[in-house]
């Protein structure tokens, strides 16, 4: 199952029902104390996370005495069937528990803001006579109702079968949007099955100590110890038996001597092992650097970076353990104590995780350096509107402009030449190739450090790209456009390329002679970086070939090629793959436009 949206009402600062839409990658952006953490806590309360406990103080201070606190999650990618018991198999659709959109919407309701919360399904459910409320009827009552209607079920032992037969016997079920309690009878059993299919919610908080005693550190380390112990079970069993044998020999000898002093007492005592040894408690695993400094003595940025890595490792273990469920990774303010370079790497890592099947990422931030790295389609802007109510803005045309102003994301005004490419993978390719050439002493644009050169994807993939794109297009700087040929004839961007070349303002555009950037990579670089051996031509779909061999999505393979394989390139390998010197020509044109 996949989280589609969250709606919260009367929860903390969210008095009126407020909805947050979710995709695979989600960035909750806003100023401090605007309600970002409350969204993560609401999710944690819904999923029953150990760090998120609801109490009456979570009820909005603006809510009425009789108002309920409601946390609603909507899901798609629903399970095909639910097994209630050995005799009953059903589905959410069969029980009319889905919305008109075919999704599952479940609310956790805290009556008047009190209690532990009860679950209800928000769905299109029958309201016709004899069909209304039968999900909550006992089995015998269903059999009696079916008999009175003259209905014959496929299996009278199954409540689900009885309900289906009753529903099918009614011409008009009069479906209407309503709430169905999941508190008793098969409603309760179905809720239990739903909860078994819900995504696992993994939360990493910002305001916590960063030591190797943290649960996120110890859990993966304990798992490593458990796995090691399981692999050595025969040897450990032998050790256990030897210890028992020798210990019992000492005990028997002791009792023999005791019988000489007090025979009655000696006969009343029997050697006995009360419990088997708990091997996991004997071993403790921690981390230390080459200088033997333990992790809890390192700087806060290092500790937190390691903790996030442990968090990812544990979440990955959970994903493997529950392969039929999704996983939601929620990371609060991952930029805390991190250098901007590490912030960028973190965002790249999160985006790569979001590409995996069944994985959703939710991060919160108010820091421009991290916010500007997030893909624009992942951004949810949280702010207070003119009336003081909290709003979540993801669709308004001015959302990115508002975020840029809110957080202070500024364009780079030092630009002298603008390099326009199709997407973020192309940026990674050109950045990587420039590093390779510069490291070998060749003249190339320094995309990482030279403020005169700005490289942006035309679609504005990240917030920084969007800001630069909208600013730079109006300042009249020369542009260098580089487009993939792909497999279309004529190339998809040929007309755009021709238009740029006809401007007469110093701009220039190219269409690659090869299919795309990945075709300029050398097979040896791909093999060294990804462990994949390939033979390909200029027309091959290289990411697809890598994806097939690696068992990953084409998009994931594309990212790995442009971020890892490009690092294994050399000038000699480039010359072999690009004997005509196309890439060097592109870089030369960029350099000529720098003053």
Query: Would strands 104-110 and 118-125 be described as parallel, antiparallel, or unpaired?
Result: antiparallel
Distance CA 517, CA 215 (A): 43
218 found inside a domain: no
38 found inside a domain: yes
Burial of 307 (0-12, 13-18, 19+ CB in 10 A): buried
Whether residue 457 is found in the same domain as residue 508: yes
Range of the domain at 517: 417-592
Segment holding 119, helix H or strand E: strand 118-125
| Whole-number pLDDT of residue 93 | 95
278 found inside a domain: no
Whether residue 391 is found in the same domain as residue 477: no
151 found inside a domain: no
Q: 376, 403, 430: which is the final residue of a domain?
A: 403
507 found inside a domain: yes
CATH number of the domain to which 368 belongs: 3.40.50.300
266 found inside a domain: no
- Residue whose structure tokens are 């190219």: 510
573 found inside a domain: yes
Whether residue 535 is found in the same domain as residue 428: yes
Please state whether 289 falls in left (phi above 0), alpha (psi between -120 and 50) or beta: beta
Whether residue 81 is found in the same domain as residue 184: yes
* Segment among 259-268, 305-314, 556-565 with least mean pLDDT: 305-314
**Lookup: tokens for 434:** 């420039």
Confidence band (pLDDT; 50, 70, 90) for 128?
very high
| Whole-number pLDDT of residue 440 | 96
312 found inside a domain: yes
Whether residue 395 is found in the same domain as residue 472: no
| Whole-number pLDDT of residue 41 | 94
Whether residue 471 is found in the same domain as residue 535: yes
Distance CA 6, CA 83 (A): 27
pLDDT surpasses 80 at 162: yes
Nearest one of 124, 19, 107, 123 to 68, comparing CA atoms: 107
Whether residue 36 is found in the same domain as residue 96: yes
Query: What sign results for the dihedral spanned by CA atoms 576, 577, 581, 583?
Result: negative
| Whole-number pLDDT of residue 216 | 47
The CA-to-CA distance between both ends of the chain, in Å, stands at: 54
Contacts of residue 309, Cβ cutoff 8 Å, sequence gap at least 6 = none
Distances (CA, A) of 119 to 281, 443, 484: 38, 64, 51
Q: 369, 403, 437: which is the final residue of a domain?
A: 403
Counting every residue written for the chain, the total comes to 595
Whether residue 443 is found in the same domain as residue 547: yes
Higher local confidence (pLDDT), 431 or 454? 431
pLDDT surpasses 60 at 269: yes
Distance CA 271, CA 250 (A): 10
Tally of domains within the chain: 2
Whether residue 368 is found in the same domain as residue 478: no
């Amino acid at each position: 199952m996949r989280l589609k949206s969250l709606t919260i009402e009367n929860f903390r600062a969210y008095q009126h029902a407020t909805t947050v839409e979710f995709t695979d990658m989600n960035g909750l952006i806003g100023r401090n104390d605007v309600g970002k953490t409350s969204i993560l806590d609401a999710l944690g309360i819904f999923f029953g996370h150990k760090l998120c406990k609801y109490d009456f103080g979570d009820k909005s201070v603006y809510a009425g005495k009789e108002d309920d606190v409601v946390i609603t999650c909507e899901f798609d990618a629903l399970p095909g069937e639910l097994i209630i018991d050995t005799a009953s198999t059903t589905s959410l659709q069969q029980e009319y528990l889905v919305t008109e959109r075919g999704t599952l919407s479940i609310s956790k309701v805290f009556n008047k803001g009190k209690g532990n919360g009860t679950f209800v399904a928000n769905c299109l459910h029958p309201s016709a006579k004899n069909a209304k409320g039968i999900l909550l009827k006992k089995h015998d009552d269903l059999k009696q109702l079916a008999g009175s209607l003259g209905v014959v079920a496929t299996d009278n032992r199954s409540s689900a079968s009885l309900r289906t037969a009753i529903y099918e016997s009614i011409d008009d079920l009069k479906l209407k949007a309503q709430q169905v309690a999941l508190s008793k009878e098969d409603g309760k059993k179905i809720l239990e099955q739903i909860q078994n299919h819900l995504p696992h919610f993994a939360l990493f908080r910002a305001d916590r100590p960063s030591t190797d005693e943290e649960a996120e550190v110890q859990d993966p380390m304990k798992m490593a110890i458990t796995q090691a112990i399981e692999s050595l079970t025969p040897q450990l069993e032998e050790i256990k038996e030897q210890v028992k044998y020798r210990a019992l020999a000492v005990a028997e000898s002791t009792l023999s001597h005791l019988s000489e002093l007090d025979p009655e007492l000696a006969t009343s005592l029997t050697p006995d092992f009360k419990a088997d040894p708990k091997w996991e408690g004997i071993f403790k695993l921690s981390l230390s650097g080459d200088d033997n400094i333990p992790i809890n003595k390192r700087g806060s940025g290092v500790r937190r970076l390691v903790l996030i890595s442990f968090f990812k490792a544990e979440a990955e273990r959970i994903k493997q353990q529950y392969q039929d469920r999704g996983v939601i990774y929620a990371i609060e303010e991952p930029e805390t104590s991190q250098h901007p370079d590490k912030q960028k790497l973190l965002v790249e890592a999160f985006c790569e995780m979001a590409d995996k099947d069944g994985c959703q990422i939710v991060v919160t931030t108010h820091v421009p350096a991290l916010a500007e790295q997030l893909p624009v389609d992942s951004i949810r802007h949280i702010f207070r509107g003119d009336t003081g109510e909290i709003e979540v803005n993801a669709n308004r045309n001015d959302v990115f402009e508002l975020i840029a102003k809110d957080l202070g994301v500024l364009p780079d005004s030092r630009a002298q030449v603008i390099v326009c490419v199709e997407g973020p993978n192309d940026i990674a390719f050109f950045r990587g190739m420039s590093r390779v050439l510069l490291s070998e002493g060749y003249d190339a644009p320094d995309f990482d450090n030279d403020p005169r050169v700005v490289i942006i994807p035309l679609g504005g993939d990240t917030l920084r790209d969007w800001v630069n794109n909208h600013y730079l297009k109006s300042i009249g700087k020369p542009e260098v456009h580089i487009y993939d040929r792909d497999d279309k004839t004529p190339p998809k961007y040929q007309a755009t390329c021709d238009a740029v070349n006809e401007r007469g303002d110093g701009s220039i555009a190219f269409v690659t002679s090869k299919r795309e950037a990945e075709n300029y990579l050398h097979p040896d670089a791909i093999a060294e970086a990804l462990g994949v051996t390939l033979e390909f031509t200029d027309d091959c779909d290289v990411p697809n070939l890598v994806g097939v061999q690696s068992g990953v999505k084409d998009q994931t393979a594309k990212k790995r090629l442009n971020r890892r394989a490009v690092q294994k390139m050399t000038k000699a390998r480039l010359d072999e793959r690009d004997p005509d010197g196309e890439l060097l020509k592109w870089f030369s044109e960029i350099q000529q436009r720098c003053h």
